[in-house]
Structure 1
Amino acid sequence: MKIAFVDERIDVEELKNLNTLNIKVIKVPKTNLTYDAVSGHPDILMHIFNNKIILHRDIDAAFLHNLESLNLNISLSQKSIGYKYPNNIILNGVSTSEFFIHNTKYTDGELLTLIGNNTVINVPQGYTKCSTAVVSNKAIMTSDTVIAESMKKFGFDVLLLPPGDILLPGLDYGFIGGTCGLIDEKTLCFYGSLDNYKYGNDVITFLEKHNVKPIYLSDGKLVDRGSILIVDTEI
Structure 2
Amino acid sequence: MDLFLPHPRLPDSPVTTALVSGEYPFLPHALNAIGIKTILTNRESRLPVPVSWHPDMQVCMVAPDLLFTLSGSTLGKSIQKETGLRTKETEKTPFVSYPQDVLCNALILGNCLIANPNTVDPRILTWAKKQEISIIPVRQGYTACAVCIVNKNAVITADRGISIVLEKLGVDVLCIRSGFIRLPGYDTGLLGGCCGHLSRDCIAFTGQLSSHPDCESIRGFLRNYSISILELFPGELMDVGGILPLLQME
TM-score (norm 1): 0.93
Over 3 Å counting, the alpha-carbon distance change for 1:185 and 1:117 in structure 2 is: farther
Please tell me whether residue 190 in structure 1 is matched to residue 205 in structure 2. yes
Letter in 1 for 2:146: S
Aligned residue for 1:162?
Answer: 177
Using the TM superposition, give the Cα deviation of residue 68 of structure 1 relative to its aligned residue in structure 2, in angstroms. 3.1
Instruction: Report whether the alignment pairs 1:46 with 2:42.
Output: no
Deviates more, 1:35-44 or 1:16-25: 16-25
Aligned-pair CA distance for 1:83:
1.0
Among 64, 67, 89, the residue aligned to 2:79: 67
For residue 95 of structure 2, what is the aligned residue in structure 1?
A: 82
Aligned to 1:135, the other structure's residue is in SS state: strand
Q: What's the counterpart of residue 174 of structure 1? A: 189
Alignment check: 8 A CA contact 1:48 1:230 kept: no
- The answer to whether the 8 A contact 1:72-1:233 is kept is no
Q: What is aligned with 1:133? A: 148
The code of the aligned residue for 1:225 comes to V
Q: How does 1:1-235 map to 2 (within 5 A)?
A: 1=2, 2-12=16-26, 14-51=27-64, 52-60=66-74, 63-70=75-82, 71-115=84-128, 116-232=131-247
In structure 2, distance between residues paired with 1:20 and 1:49: 28
2: CA distance, partners of 1:101 / 1:184: 23
Instruction: Give the equivalent residue in structure 1 for 2:13.
Output: none
Q: How many residues align?
A: 232
- Post-superposition Cα deviations, 1:22-57, rounded to whole Å, max 9, x if no partner, equal 221011111110211010110111111222121101
AA matched with 1:45: Q
Question: 1:106-165 deviations in whole A, cap 9, x for unaligned?
Answer: 221222234322221101111111111111000011111111011111111101011111
Identity %: 27
> Which structure is higher in RCO with an 8 Å CA cutoff and minimum separation 6?
2
Partner amino acid for 2:201?
Answer: K
Q: Secondary structure at the match of 1:221?
A: coil
Contact 1:37 1:169 in 2 (8 A): yes
Query: Residues of 2 paired with 1:53 and 1:15: CA distance?
Result: 21
Q: CA deviation at 1:227?
A: 1.6
Deviation, 1:97, is 2.2
| Secondary structure of residue in 2 paired with 1:49 | strand
Distance in 2 between the 1:47 and 1:65 partners?
15
TM-score after normalising by structure 2: 0.87
- What SS class does the counterpart of residue 125 from structure 1 fall into? coil
- Is there any run of 5+ residues in structure 1 with no aligned partner, and where? none
**How far apart in 2 are the matches of 1:234 and 1:214?**
20
Partners of 1:226 and 1:69 in 2: how far apart?
Answer: 22
